[in-house]
Amino acid sequence: MNIDPTTIIIPVVSILGSVLLSALGSFLYVRQARIDLVNEYEKRFNEKKWKTYLDFTTNVLKQLRLAATQDYDSESAADIELNSLTAELLLVGSDAVVIAYRQWRKFEQVNGQRDTETLNLLFRVVIEMRRDLGNSKTQVNLDHLLGMLVPNYQRSL
């Protein structure tokens, strides 16, 4: 009894091909699932970043309005809210945002909220936030921000 080698080779090749295709499909599925998971985490992180930056900017505007109308009170609701936002900024802020924020707070503690350089450092935080949110080529500078937010602001020369 002679066995034709093709009767053995064809089924073996067929089985190996099926196993290889199955393994490749599984590998690609797992790889895509990991990519999708990373993308979902990045999306959630960016949504949190947007919310935190927006809350921070809203709080800063409240503080600027308070400072313009009355004496600065470090126990104001806006300042207490800012302290709670600090933890969020530490988690979601880029390195540049965290560094700019720390420089602003340190300078503000020594020189007060109404000092011109304090305001400049605060707006540097906002500019770094804009860059972090994807506007890396922003042309907005301190004069633009001050002009938007401070009544009767005269551009520096």
Report the distance separating Cα 24 and Cα 101, nearest Å. Answer: 48
- pLDDT for residue 130: 87
Tell me the pLDDT band of 28, cut-offs 50, 70 and 90: very high
Question: How confident is residue 75, by pLDDT bands cut at 50, 70 and 90?
Answer: low
% the chain with pLDDT above 70: 82
Asked, for residue 22, whether it belongs to a domain, the answer is no
- Measured distance CA(127)–CA(135) in Å, rounded: 9
Whole-number pLDDT of residue 72:
55
pLDDT confidence band for 83 (50 / 70 / 90): confident
64 lies in a domain? yes
Question: pLDDT-derived band of residue 115, with 50, 70 and 90 as boundaries?
Answer: confident
Count of domains forming the chain: 1
Distance CA 26, CA 16 (A): 15
> Cα separation of 129 and 57, whole Å?
10
Q: Evaluate whether residue 14 is within a structural domain.
A: no
What is the average per-residue pLDDT within 110-138? 83
Q: How confident is the model at residue 95 (pLDDT cuts 50, 70, 90)?
A: very high
Looking at the whole model, is its pTM more than 0.85?
A: no
Inter-residue contact 118 to 49 (CB < 8 Å): no
The answer to the question of residue 28 being in a domain is no
Q: DSSP alpha helices (H): ranges in the chain?
A: 5-69, 77-92, 95-111, 116-132, 142-149
In a domain, 12, yes or no: no
DSSP string, 19-48: HHHHHHHHHHHHHHHHHHHHHHHHHHHHHH
Q: Domain residues for 99?
A: 44-149
Cα distances from 94 to residues 50, 65, 130, in angstroms, run: 12, 27, 11
Quick check: is 59 in a domain? yes
Question: In this model, does residue 157 exceed pLDDT 50?
Answer: no
As a whole-number percent, the residues of the chain with pLDDT over 90 amount to: 17
75 or 45, greater pLDDT: 45
Domain contains 13: no
Distance CA 20, CA 43 (A): 34
Q: How far apart are CA 156 and CA 141, in angstroms?
A: 11
Q: Is residue 4 in some structural domain?
A: no
pLDDT, residue 109, reads: 82
